Amino acid sequence: MEIKDVLDEKLMILDIKSESKQEVVKELIEPLVREGIVRDKDLFFKTIMDREAQSTTGIGMGVAIPHGKSDTVTKPSIVFGKSKKGVDYEALDNEASYIFFLIAVPESSTNEHLKVLSQLSRKLMHEEIREKLMKAKEAKEVIEVFS
């Protein structure tokens, strides 16, 4: 599974309105529910927040990659979101997060999502990648960053 294979223009929020960690996660889950990828948004929200309780997925440099495996997820998917104002996501560097990638995978899936998580983390280490994502005005521009 490659990043570009699971990015979908219908699963992107180019102007996140939420101002708290919990609200951002809820906002990121909405496109998954709308597209029929997540059947139970409350259960998936709990899955994500339980994972966050173990350790934050705010990896720093303005990036957070919340992720979860759940029976309520029908297919591996990634939701991209960005916030112009930034959100206190309890990141490892104590800085606000602006770029979000929520990874959702079915419980039955192998650990393929860990490969995508690793690919994302490596890509997002590069400042020019983060800058391109922040400047993206259309969903297709986000996909182009990973093509």
In the chain, the amino acid numbered 93 is D
CB of 62 closer than 8 Å to CB of 95: yes
CB of 60 closer than 8 Å to CB of 91: yes
Is 113 in the active site?
Answer: no
Question: Which residue out of 21, 67, 69, 130 is catalytically annotated?
Answer: 67
- Alpha-helical runs (H) found in the chain: 3-6, 21-34, 41-54, 112-124, 127-135, 139-145
Closest Cα partner for 50 from 20, 72, 70, 30? 70
How many CA atoms are closer than 13 Å to the CA of 63, on its beta-carbon side? 20
DSSP-derived 3-state class of residue 62:
coil
Q: Which residues carry out catalysis?
A: 67
